[in-house]
Every structure is written in C-alpha cells, then in structure tokens.
Amino acid sequence: MSDFQVTARTQIKRLPKRGHYDRQTVYQILDTAFVCHVGFSVNGQPYVIPTNYGRTGDTLYLHGSAASRMLKALSAGVPVCVTVTHVDGLVLARSAFHHSVNYRSVVILGSVRLVEDPTEKMEALRIFTNHVMKGRWDDVRQPTEQELKATTVLVLPLEEVSAKVRTGGPNDDEPDYALPVWAGVLPLETVAREPIPDPQRKNDPPVPQYLRNYSR
C-alpha cells in the first residue's frame, strides 16, 4: 500500500525513526481501536473530546447527536486533529530519564465534511457500527428516519496523516547497565471480559459469536 504524503505538519521531527507514513501501519492502528480524541478550537480554546469512529479506505467517520457542541463546531469546517493511541507497555529503564512507553498512535489533520445524503449517512453508520463491533449492524434495529435526522455524521478524509510507533525494551546509558535495577517492559493489553446481559431484557437471545471472540 502506498504512503501518505508527508507535510511539514505531519513530519515526525523528534525521534524520526518512530515516524511512519504508510497506509498499512496507519490502517492497522486505526482498525484495532475504536476511540479517538478529537481536537478543535472554539474562541481560541482547544478542546479534546473522546469519541468513537469508523474507517473505510481513506475515510474516517465520526458521528454524534445533532445537538452536540463538538459536532456543531466541527460541521462548520474548522481545522481538526483526530488522534488514536494504543498503549502497549511501560518501558522500565535503569535511569528515570530513559523510562518510556511502547505505543502506536495516528494523528490526522484536516477538516470534516457533513454527510447529508440519507443513503450515504446510512452506509456511514453501518461502517461505523461494524468498526466498533464487527457484524453488529445486521443484528440490530437499524435507524429510523427520525433517528437519522437526530444523528450528525461527519467525514474526515485521511490525507494529512502520520503514525508514531515505539516498540522494544529500554535504551539505557552504557554505564547504567551494571546497576542492580530490574529493567524491561511491562506489557499492557486491553481485554474483553464476560458479556453482561441487560438486566432489563425480556428474552434471552444467545450471545453472538462476535462478542464471545471479541478482540482487536
């Protein structure tokens, strides 16, 4: 897969070896997560709000209530930054200075387009829902016309994009390796626990396969 074009704004300057601009790396990071942090400014004050997303090709979908302040601000076409981060482990070095974190992150710059066509909106919601929980869309009651109207769907094109990845153990200063300090990596992972059925349920459908085997 081809690379995203590097711009002055997306080029990783600090520790450039950690920078990645290829679609494969970017897609993998985006597709194994479902929460992003959206940054935008209102009256000069930046806000960073966690929200869900879906991806297909070079398109990221965001959605929310038509009444949301964030969605209203974004719909106006202001510059936006969407960041997705996985934390894979704590890197424990022999010196405080060389402690680090293993992580994978993607930063997307741009501005959004409001999806108004109902067919495109429905398709975006399908992609969005199946991004968060693969296979869920076909099992559930799909949006009514009124629900569609109450939902704002936004498209952020993947154009100005970079990924940053750190892996591996600590990099200590040479003399520090002799210190009697435990050093290495504490791997961190997000896991799914046993699904908890809704206490308000009126029937007991089987737990779907996509929930039993949930992993990203």
Binding pattern to its own copies, positions 144-173, x when CB under 8 A? x--x--xx-----------------xx-x-
CB of 118 to its own copies, least distance (A): 14
- With contact defined as beta carbons under 8 Å apart, do 155 and 75 qualify? no
Q: Which is nearer to its own copies, 1 or 140 (CB)?
A: 140
Token pair recorded at residue 30: 């985006």
Residue 25 host element (H or E): helix 23-31
- Compute the least distance from the CB of residue 58 to its own copies, in Å: 20
Residues 6+ apart with CB under 8 A from 188: 87, 88, 89, 90
- Which tokens in the block code for residue 183? 């050093």
User: What's the full length of the chain, in residues?
Assistant: 216
Write the binding mask 73 to 112 for its own copies: x where contact by CB under 8 A, - elsewhere.
Answer: ------xxxxx-x-x--x-xxxxxx-x-x-x-x-x-x---
Nearest distance in Å: CB 87, its own copies: 5
Of 44, 119, 145, 213, the one binding its own copies by CB under 8 A? 44
Residue 79's H or E segment, with its range, is: none
Q: Which residue in the set 143, 155, 157, 166 belongs to the binding site for its own copies (CB under 8 A)?
A: 143
Q: Choose, by CB under 8 A, the member of 1, 2, 13, 16 that binds its own copies.
A: 13
Tell me the three state secondary structure of residue 176. Answer: helix
